[in-house]
Amino acid sequence: SQQGEEDPQALSIQEGENATMNCSYKTSINNLQWYRQNSGRGLVHLILIRSNEREKHSGRLRVTLDTSKKSSSLLITASRAADTASYFCATDEHNSKLTFGKGITLSVRP
C-alpha cells in the first residue's frame, strides 16, 4: 500500500517561477526522501530529511517536514526547463524499506 501521497498530481509553471509539491503520509517515519525521475530514466535521490528535522536546503531545493501533520513539501526555486521531471516522495517506516508515492509531474515552460 502507498504511504506517501503527492499533491498535486501535475504542475505546470513558467521558467523562473517557484514550484511547490506536497507529500502526505499515514504512519510515523524515520525519514522522508524526495527523488526525481527524468523521462525514461531511473530515479535520482534529491534530498533526505530526518524525522527530527523541520527544514533542509540543498541548492535550489528546500524541503520541510511537519510530523504533527504527517506532511512534507518540496520547493524548487527559480525553476528551469531542466527541472521538468516527475518527483516522488518516499518514506522510511522503520522497517528498512522505502515506500514511494505515485509521483508529481512537473513541467517547466521555457
Partner 1 sequence: DAGITQSPRHKVTETGTPVTLRCHQTENHRYMYWYRQDPGHGLRLIHYSYGVKDTDKGEVSDGYSVSRSKTEDFLLTLESATSSQTSVYFCAISELAGVGDTQYFGPGTRLTVL
Binding positions for partner 1, rule: CB under 8 A: 1-2, 30-31, 33, 40-45, 48, 50, 88, 90, 92, 94, 96-103
Nearer to partner 1, 30 or 64 (CB): 30
DSSP helix/strand/coil, 79: coil
Nearer to partner 1, 22 or 30 (CB): 30
Q: 27 with 93: CB under 8 angstroms?
A: yes
Rounded to whole angstroms, the Cα distance separating 7 from 59 reads: 22
C-alpha cell at 72: 512534507
Question: Shortest gap between Cβ of 61 and partner 1 (angstroms)?
Answer: 15
